[in-house]
C-alpha cells in the first residue's frame, strides 16, 4: 500500500483524491446513472472534468471560501459533483434530507447560513422559495431537473448544466483562482457538514474534517479490501453520513464506481441490473426483501415451494458454516452446490446480490432469522455500529466472526470503552470536529481527551471481545420495583415479526410494561387478502379482531423469550394496543431515519398510555395527522386494549422452589 501511494500529505482532500483517481483509474467508471432506460457512465476522467466545470461555474456565481452550499435531492451524480465542486472552491457542502418539510429545511438553511442551494427538482425549488419568507441568507439557487422550471424567475436561479457551461466558458479567467483554492485544502479543512436527524430536539450540524473522512475511508476500505473494481448502489439519503462515507469517502479513496438508480421506485430493478459488490442497507430493506420473497413463495407452485423449503432448510444448516469457512461434510457441500444452482443462485440474482462481496447492515438491530436467511444464501452480510459523529465506523464485524446479536469489534483506529453507567464511549481519527454553532452540545458529547459519548448502553462480550448494544443509555431505566427497563430490547424483539412494523414500549418507573404496536400494512394486508378479510383502511385493518389476536400471540411469545433473560425479565409486556395510524416522520413521531421519538409519542398519545394503565378495555381517541403536502387533518378511532399473558421467569421459579 505504502509503495503504491504518494506521500499522504498530498491526498488530504476529496478534490486531491479526485485528481489522483483521474490519473490512476482514468478509464474505469466513476459514476453510472440510469436515465431514459439506459445506464449512462462517466469515467474518472469525465467525472473530474464535469466537477471542475461545475466548480468554475460556482466561482463565476461568486461562491466564496467558507460558504455553505446546501444540496437537496435524490442520489444523482450531479449532486455528488456539486458537493465536491463546492469543496474545490473552499466551500462546505451540506446535504439535506430531501423529504424534509419546509419548516425543517428552513431551520437547517438558516442555521448554516447557506448562500447557495442546489435542488434536485421543482419540488425542492418550491420548498426553498417557500422558506425564503423566513430565511434570507440564500443568494443563488440551482437545480438539476429542468422539468416545470421554465416559468420561474431566473434572476438568481440556474440550471446546473448552465452553471457548468458558464464554468467551461470562463475557465481561462477562473482557473488560476480555482487551482489556488484546491491547493489550499488540508487535513483540517471542513469536508462536509451533516445534520443529525436528532431523536431529541433540533438537528445539530456535525462538522467533519477532511482528516475524519479520509482516515475513516482509508481504514474501512482496507478492512474490507475494497478496490477500484467494486460497485456500490447509492440509494440511501445523501444527508446521511453513511452515504457520504460510502459514495464519496470510500469511493474516492479506492476509486470504485457509484451507481445511481433511475428513480427511488426503481431501486430494486436497478439493484438487480447493477449487482453491486459492496452493499449497505438498513435492516428494514433486508426485511422488506425477505417478506416479498416469502409472499411470492406462498403463491408459487407445489414443486417450486417444496424445492425452496428443502434447500432453504439445508442452507440454514450449513450455509453460514460454509461462508465462514468452517468444516462441513463433503456430502453437505455437494448438496449445497446443487442448491446453489437450483435455488440460491437464481434467488440471489433476483434480489440483486449475485456479486455482493461485502454487505453491511446497521442503524437498528436486525432480526436473527432475517440475518441468517441472507448469510445462509452465501451473502457475506455483516453488522456495524456507528454514528454521524464518528464518521460512521465505531465497531464492525470481521469476516468469519459474524453473529446477529453483536455489532463486532472496534474498527481499525478506533478505541472503545464502556463508562461506569454502561454507556459506550469511543475515540478515533473519524471523531467529529464539533457541532456547528453549538459549543454546549459539543462539550456535552466530546470530552477534552476526545472521547465521545454514544448515548448507547452496551457491554463487551467475554471471550469474543464483541460489543453488544442493549439500548439508548437514557432510555435504559428502572421500573417501580427496581428491575432494569430496556424498551428498545423488547421493541426489537417485537419488530422481528413481519406483521409488526414498529413498537413502542413504556414502563420506566411503573409497575409493569405496556406497548403500542404498529402493524406492517404490506405483510398484514397480504395475509388479510389470502384469508379473505375485507378492510377499507389501515385503521380498520389494524383493529380487526383477528389481527389483534395474531399480534397478541406475538407479544406473548416475546414475553416467554424475555422471561428467559435474568436481567430483563421484568420487561414483559402486560398490556398492549394496536395503533390506528402508522407512526410517521411527518408527524414528528419518527426521525427522518425512522427512529422512534419516545418523548413526542408519550405526549401525543398520553390518553392512550393512561388507558393502558387504568385497566380499560377500549379507548376512544382523536389524533392529528400531517399529510405529505403539509396539510393537517384529524382521525378518530376506538382502540381495543388487550392483556397479554406473561411468563414467570425461570430463575424466580427456581428461587421459589
Partner 1 sequence: MTTIGAPVSTGTEKAAGGWITADGRTIGEIMMEMRNITLRFGGVTAIEDISFDIRKGEIRAIIGPNGAGKSSMLNVISGFYVPQEGEILFHGAQRPPMRPYEVARQGIARTFQNIALFKGMSTLDNIMTGRMTLMRTGMASQALWWGKAQAEESAHREAVEKIIDFLEIQTIRKTPVGRLPYGLQKRVELGRALAAEPKLLLLDEPMAGMNVEEKEDMSRFILDVNDEFGTTIALIEHDMGVVMDLSDRVVVMDYGKKIGDGTPDEVRNNKEVIDAYLGVAHD
Enumerate binding residues for partner 1 (CB under 8 A). 35-38, 125, 128-129, 132, 136, 138-141, 147-148, 150-157, 262-263, 265-266, 269
Task: Closer to partner 1 by CB, 71 or 362: give it.
Answer: 71
Given a contact cutoff of 8 angstroms between Cβ atoms, the answer to whether 499 and 520 are in contact is yes
- Measure the CA–CA gap between 625 and 633, rounded to whole angstroms: 5
What is the smallest separation between the CB atom of 142 and partner 1, expressed in angstroms?
10
Return the half-sphere exposure (C-beta side, CA atoms, 13 A cut-off) of residue 598. 15
Minimal distance in Å, beta carbon 37 to partner 1?
Answer: 5
Q: Which is nearer to partner 1, 107 or 152 (CB)?
A: 152
Give the contacts of 226 (CB within 8 A, at least 6 positions apart): 220, 250, 254, 256, 278, 358
SS3 328: coil
Q: Which is nearer to partner 1, 459 or 627 (CB)?
A: 627
Total number of residues shown for the chain = 657
Residue number with CB closer to partner 1 (117 or 416): 117
Which of these, 198, 193, 209, 232, lies nearest to 68 by C-alpha position? 193
Compare residues 39 and 223 and give the one whose CB is closer to partner 1. 39
Q: Which is nearer to partner 1, 266 or 404 (CB)?
A: 266
Cell numbers describing residue 248: 464519496
Counting Cβ atoms within 10 Å, is residue 272 exposed (0-12), middle (13-18) or buried (19+)?
middle
Cα dist from 394 to 19, 249, 416, 436, whole Å = 29, 16, 8, 22
Residue 559 per-residue DSSP state: H
The CB-of-585 to partner 1 minimum distance in angstroms stands at 20
Which is closer to partner 1, CB of 138 or CB of 214? 138
Residue with cell 480555482: 178
Query: Looking at beta carbons only, is 68 or 374 nearer to partner 1?
Result: 68
Burial class (CB in 10 A: 0-12, 13-18, 19+), 439: exposed
**Shortest Å, Cβ 519 to partner 1:** 22
Cβ-based nearer residue to partner 1, 565 or 584: 584
> What separation in angstroms does the CA of 432 have from each of 192, 427, 646?
10, 10, 45
Q: Which residues pair with 458 in a beta bridge?
A: 469
CB of 34 to partner 1, least distance (A): 8
User: Shortest Cβ distance from residue 87 to partner 1 (Å)?
Assistant: 24
Contact call for residues 592 and 99 (beta carbons, < 8 A): yes
The three-class DSSP label of residue 262 is: coil
Long-range pairs for 159-166 at CB < 8 Å and ≥24 separation?
160/54, 160/78, 160/82, 160/118, 162/57, 163/54, 163/57, 163/58, 163/60, 163/61, 164/50, 164/53, 164/54, 164/57, 165/53, 165/57, 166/56, 166/57, 166/60, 166/61
CB of 300 to partner 1, least distance (A): 17
SS3 (DSSP) at 418: strand
Burial class (CB in 10 A: 0-12, 13-18, 19+), 127: buried
CB of 143 to partner 1, least distance (A): 9
| Residue among 150 and 617 whose Cβ is closer to partner 1 | 150
Choose between 141 and 394: whose C-beta lies nearer to partner 1.
141
CA–CA distance, 361 with 289 (Å, rounded to integer): 14
Q: Which stretches of 359-500 are DSSP H helices?
A: 368-376, 439-445, 487-495
Q: How far is the CB of 262 from partner 1 (least distance, A)?
A: 5
Least Å from the CB of residue 152 to partner 1: 5
Closest separation in Å from C-beta 117 to partner 1: 9
Residue 156 or 202: which CB sits closer to partner 1? Answer: 156
Identity of the residue, 112 or 125, whose beta carbon is nearer to partner 1 in the bound complex: 125
Q: Environment class of residue 577 by beta-carbon count within 10 Å: exposed (0-12), middle (13-18) or buried (19+)?
A: buried
CB of 139 to partner 1, least distance (A): 7
Shortest approach of partner 1 to residue 194 CB, angstroms? 25
- The DSSP 8-state label assigned to residue 482 in this structure reads S
Amino acid at each position: 500500500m505504502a509503495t503504491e501511494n504518494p506521500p499522504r500529505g498530498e491526498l488530504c482532500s476529496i478534490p486531491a483524491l479526485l485528481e489522483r483517481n483521474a490519473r490512476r483509474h482514468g478509464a474505469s467508471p466513476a459514476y453510472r446513472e440510469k436515465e431514459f432506460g439506459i445506464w449512462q457512465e462517466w469515467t474518472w476522467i469525465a467525472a473530474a472534468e464535469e466537477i471542475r466545470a461545475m466548480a468554475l461555474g460556482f466561482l463565476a456565481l461568486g461562491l466564496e471560501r467558507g460558504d455553505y452550499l446546501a444540496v437537496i435531492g435524490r442520489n444523482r451524480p450531479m449532486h455528488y459533483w456539486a458537493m465536491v465542486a463546492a469543496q474545490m472552491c473552499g466551500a462546505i457542502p451540506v446535504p439535506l434530507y430531501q423529504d424534509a418539510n419546509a419548516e425543517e429545511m428552513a431551520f437547517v438553511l438558516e442555521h448554516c447560513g447557506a448562500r447557495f442551494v442546489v435542488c434536485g427538482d421543482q419540488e425542492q425549488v418550491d420548498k426553498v422559495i417557500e422558506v425564503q419568507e423566513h430565511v434570507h441568507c440564500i443568494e443563488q439557487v440551482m437545480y438539476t431537473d429542468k422539468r416545470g422550471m421554465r416559468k420561474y424567475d431566473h434572476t438568481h436561479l440556474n440550471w446546473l448544466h448552465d452553471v457548468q457551461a458558464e464554468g467551461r466558458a470562463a475557465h481561462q479567467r477562473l482557473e488560476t483562482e480555482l487551482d489556488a483554492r484546491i491547493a489550499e485544502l488540508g487535513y483540517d479543512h471542513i469536508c462536509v457538514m451533516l445534520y443529525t436527524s436528532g431523536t431529541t430536539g433540533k438537528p445539530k450540524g456535525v462538522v467533519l474534517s477532511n482528516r475524519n473522512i479520509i482516515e475513516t475511508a482509508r481504514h474501512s476500505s482496507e478492512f474490507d479490501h475494497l478496490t477500484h473494481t467494486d460497485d456500490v448502489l447509492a440509494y440511501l439519503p445523501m444527508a446521511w453520513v453513511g452515504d457520504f462515507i460510502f459514495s464519496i469517502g470510500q469511493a474516492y479513496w479506492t476509486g470504485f464506481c457509484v451507481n445511481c438508480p433511475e428513480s427511488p421506485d426503481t431501486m430494486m430493478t436497478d439493484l438487480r441490473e447493477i449487482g453491486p459488490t459492496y452493499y449497505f442497507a438498513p435492516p428494514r430493506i433486508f426485511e422488506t426483501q425477505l417478506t416479498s420473497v416469502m409472499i411470492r413463495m406462498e403463491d408459487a407452485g407445489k414443486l417450486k415451494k417444496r424445492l425452496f423449503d428443502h434447500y432453504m432448510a439445508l442452507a440454514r444448516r450449513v450455509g453460514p458454516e460454509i461462508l465462514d469457512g468452517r468444516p462441513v461434510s463433503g456430502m453437505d457441500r455437494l448438496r449445497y452446490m446443487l442448491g446453489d444452482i437450483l435455488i440460491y443462485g437464481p434467488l440471489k440474482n433476483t434480489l440483486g446480490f449475485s456479486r455482493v462481496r461485502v454487505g453491511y447492515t446497521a442503524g437498528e438491530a436486525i432480526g436473527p432469522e432475517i440475518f441468517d436467511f441472507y448469510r445462509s444464501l452465501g451473502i457475506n452480510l455483516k453488522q456495524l455500529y456507528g454514528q454521524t459523529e464518528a464518521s460512521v465506523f465505531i465497531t464492525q464485524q470481521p469476516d468469519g466472526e459474524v453473529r446477529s446479536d453483536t455489532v463486532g469489534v472496534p474498527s481499525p483506529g478506533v478505541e472503545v470503552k464502556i463508562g461506569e453507567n454502561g454507556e459506550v464511549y469511543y475515540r478515533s481519527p473519524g471523531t467529529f470536529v464539533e457541532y456547528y454553532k453549538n459549543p454546549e452540545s459539543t462539550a456535552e458529547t466530546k470530552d477534552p481527551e476526545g472521547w465521545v459519548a454514544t448515548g448507547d448502553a452496551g457491554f463487551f462480550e467475554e471471550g469474543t471481545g464483541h460489543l453488544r448494544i442493549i439500548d439508548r443509555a437514557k432510555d435504559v431505566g428502572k421500573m417501580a420495583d427496581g428491575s432494569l427497563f430496556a424498551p428498545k430490547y423488547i421493541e426489537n424483539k417485537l419488530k422481528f415479526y413481519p406483521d409488526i412494523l414498529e413498537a413502542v414500549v413504556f414502563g420506566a418507573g411503573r409497575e409493569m410494561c405496556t406497548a403500542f404496536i404498529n402493524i406492517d400494512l404490506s405483510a398484514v394486508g397480504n395475509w388479510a387478502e389470502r384469508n379473505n378479510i375485507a378492510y377499507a383502511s389501515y385503521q380498520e385493518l389494524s383493529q380487526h379482531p383477528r389481527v389483534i389476536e395474531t399480534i397478541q400471540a406475538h407479544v406473548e411469545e416475546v414475553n416467554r423469550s424475555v422471561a428467559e433473560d435474568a436481567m430483563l425479565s421484568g420487561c414483559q409486556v402486560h398490556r398492549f394496543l394496536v395503533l390506528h395510524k402508522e407512526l410517521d416522520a411527518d408527524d414528528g413521531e419518527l426521525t427522518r431515519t425512522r427512529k422512534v421519538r419516545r418523548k413526542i409519542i408519550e405526549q401525543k398519545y398520553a390518553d392512550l398510555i393512561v388507558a393502558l394503565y387504568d385497566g380499560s378495555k377500549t379507548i376512544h381517541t382523536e389524533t392529528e395527522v400531517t399529510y405529505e403536502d403539509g396539510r393537517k387533518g384529524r382521525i378518530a378511532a376506538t382502540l381495543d386494549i388487550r392483556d397479554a399473558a406473561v411468563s414467570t421467569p425461570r430463575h424466580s421459579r427456581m428461587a421459589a422452589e
